[in-house]
Structure 1
Amino acid sequence: MNSAPARNIAVLGATGSIGTSALDVIARHPDRLRATVLAAGSKVDALVSLCRVHRPQHAVVADEGCFAALRDGLRDAGLETRAHAGEAALESLVAGTCCDTVVAAIVGAAGLHSTLAAARAGKRLLLANKESLVLAGELLMQAAHASGAVIVPIDSEHNAIFQCLPDAHAHASLRRILLTASGGPFRGRRRDELATVTPEQAIAHPKWSMGPKISVDSATLMNKGLEVIEAHHLFGVARERIDVLVHPQSLVHSLVEFVDGSTLAQLGLPDMRTALAVGFGWPERIASGVSGLDLLQHGRLDFEAPDLDAFPCLRLAFAALQAGGTAPAMLNAANEVAVSAFLQRRIAFLSIPALVEATLDALPATAADSLDVLREADAAARRHATAAVG
């Protein structure tokens, strides 16, 4: 049954929730999956602890100031794992021969360069870093096509579409893609009821266990807006053929509608390990540790339209995709600044979409024909949004 060769895997964002799930799946298949590179931001102690368990060849911290602590921690633990620090070291490792598969789960724009490096090197890329597609979707997909890299999206929604489409670009038979959204912790609330929302309430997602930034994005529906932009790039589908359905049970992860009237959906419990197992094993199926879905236990599946008045971030994302060019990069950058300010209690919840919209209005989109242009657009949006926060 295990006909596929063993995979050597780099887990970027190893100390985060997706990294933890990835390492859980890897540990279930010691005969065919091995973590050879573990990367984190600055959490040295947590990274060393993971290295004790998984014994990778290499460990990387993004913060170069943490190199000595990582090196000494690995040495004191009696590990042969080599310590590295900085973006250049990470890019070199993911492009090198020590891994053939890369889990790209670094949160935010910080994950862009290593993701691009993996795509250019022709790796199997399990893509959980949505900003790579939002900021530089055209460049990333071009790099993947040129190198033969296989991109398997790890967001549950895009992974569902990946599983439902016999051909990722089956345009002739594809009518539309339907991305599902849980609705977040504030589903059903009116706009005026969201004025006093606290960070603690916003990160208390009813279905998924995620980091604070992604949880806030889910609460504002910006997460779904970014996923719309991702789907456009991943599957080559125009904005007009991408819709969003709110589905509070989070059991139907997305749907694909074909021209003959057929609609295919992928269902499962809300656990990232399913999507990760698909990414590691595809086209084979491997155990993920996730139980099967008992529909009798859950009883019902509900769907409703998103409320774009209470949650304007989704509307802003559709508008940015329509505008094209640098607009999605600026949307993402302004949102990162706004969410950070909200988590620091410097702005209110409803100020997140207001700040993003003001930034997009102030900075017109231009053609996104190089990474330098996108970097400058990202930086300009951050400057504008930061100044607006005060």
Structure 2
Amino acid sequence: MTSISIAHRPASVRPSPSIAAKALVTKLRAEGRRIIDLTVGEPDFVTPRSIMDAAQAAMRAGDTHYTASNGTKSLRQAAANKLMRENGLSYTPDDIVIGSGAKQLIQTALAATLNPGDEVIVPAPYWVSYPDLATLSDGVPVVVACTEEAGFKLLPSQIEAAITSRTKWLVLNSPNNPSGAVYSIAELTALGEVLARHPQVLVMTDEIYEHFIYDGERAISFGRAVPALLERTLTINGVSKAYAMTGWRIGYAAGPRVLAQAMTSLLSQSTTCPSSISQAAALSALSGDQTFVVEARRAYQTRRDRAVSLLDAIPGIACRRPEGAFYAYPNVAGLIGRRTPDGTWIESDLDLSQLLLREGGVSVMDGTSYGLSPYLRVSFATSLETIETGCAAIARVVATLD
């Protein structure tokens, strides 16, 4: 048999835990099990009809060919208009890169800038892919734990302590997946004051959940809060979450032109360009009526309030109210060290998540996958009925613990 030698890169990264959880739910359902899925990191809504109509119109018009590697100029202009209109950030189309999802743009930016051994500061809890994407580009993720007492947010003293001569990037995600933490303008300004003393550090700000901030609050872009650092800030966003377009795979990045050009060069040799049809749909999303986003935010706030109320009422679970995104991140320290009816000890949040799936038929993510334990990530990007049924199942399993 032919022996295939695999390079170090696949072995250096983990498969995405959230994608693996989704695959497991699909597998168990195919086997006939009834699974309540609270892992999902995507809206349960259907893409708005006006956006689908725009895609169909593009196809009928023959807009089915390659585009520029950094995306169509019309979509880059729409992204620039959006960033000025909603975020107060001034960019031209040449400063913007369209990619096949925000994740691709994050990976491409890291690949374009990291040399072996360069460090990427990643506050925890973090989106599961940040450390692995840094590793994939021969970087070194430096994880900094952000405590619940600090609102799951990075403190200026922590970033000062984490920066070394090898630091290349700080990754900020606000609103945060999985905690729902949202940085205020004062908190971003304080971080900026530290970063100003370290000119070699670039800032990657992932704002994909910006439209889902609750209780009347609004998102503040890092570049708006700290304009002096805009020349070394890369703003990541996309249409997946805000417009229920996860399957369309369109993200956009805005930053220094030299970085945009380097990213475009890499993209030209990977995907060539994003889907022309999806770009037409994204153009409609960014330029069209925004009523859908407002209504989705309202629905998520109702779901958040219900999920937090139900989770917080379960003995052994304490659930902080997330300020944004569509996840709750309940503290399950009160359940660690307890015993199941068959005599198995719950030693971690991973043990607990597996127990909930096995005995309760409810799938949630463990906090270990997000770099901070002991927590669970519970998605409320699903119906109220599913939230209520899932939380009831969690309560029933917890009640059996000794």
Normalised by the length of structure 1, the TM-score is 0.27
Larger radius of gyration: 2
**Which protein, 1 or 2, shows the higher relative CO under an 8 Å CA cutoff with sep ≥ 6?**
2
Normalised by the length of structure 2, the TM-score is 0.26
